[in-house]
């Protein structure tokens, strides 16, 4: 599995499961997941870019941070 990862580092859990099923022996997804976690193997792929603040947009303060909330729907200053 480690050699296959070095050859194809973009293989994730599902593709590695298929490869193992064809070349070594049948294993289920959870077993492959455990093995990959133990070996420290993660697929290399472009992750989605998260939200980024836009320059020029105003940042509003959270006004309830210094207030005490004693019960539902009640805020006391």
Distance CA 75, CA 69 (A): 5
Q: What is the mean pLDDT of residues 51-61?
A: 88
Any alpha helices (H) in the chain, and if so which ranges? 2-7, 13-23, 29-39
Q: Are 36 and 16 in contact (CB under 8 A)?
A: yes
In this predicted structure, the answer to whether residue 34 has a pLDDT above a threshold of 90 is yes
Q: Determine the pLDDT at residue 17.
A: 92
Q: Determine the pLDDT at residue 31.
A: 92
In this predicted structure, the answer to whether residue 39 has a pLDDT above a threshold of 70 is yes
Q: Are 17 and 33 in contact (CB under 8 A)?
A: no
Residue spans per domain, the chain: 1-45
Q: Determine the pLDDT at residue 77.
A: 67
| Token representation of residue 64 | 């309830």
Binned at pLDDT 50, 70 and 90, residue 68 comes out as: confident
């Amino acid at each position: 599995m480690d050699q296959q990862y070095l050859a194809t580092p973009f293989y994730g859990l599902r593709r590695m499961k298929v490869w193992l099923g064809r070349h070594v022996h049948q294993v289920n997804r959870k077993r492959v997941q455990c093995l990959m976690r133990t070996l420290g193997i993660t697929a290399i792929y472009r992750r989605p870019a998260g939200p980024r603040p836009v320059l020029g947009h105003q940042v509003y303060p959270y006004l309830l941070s210094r207030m005490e909330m004693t019960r539902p729907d009640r805020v006391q200053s």
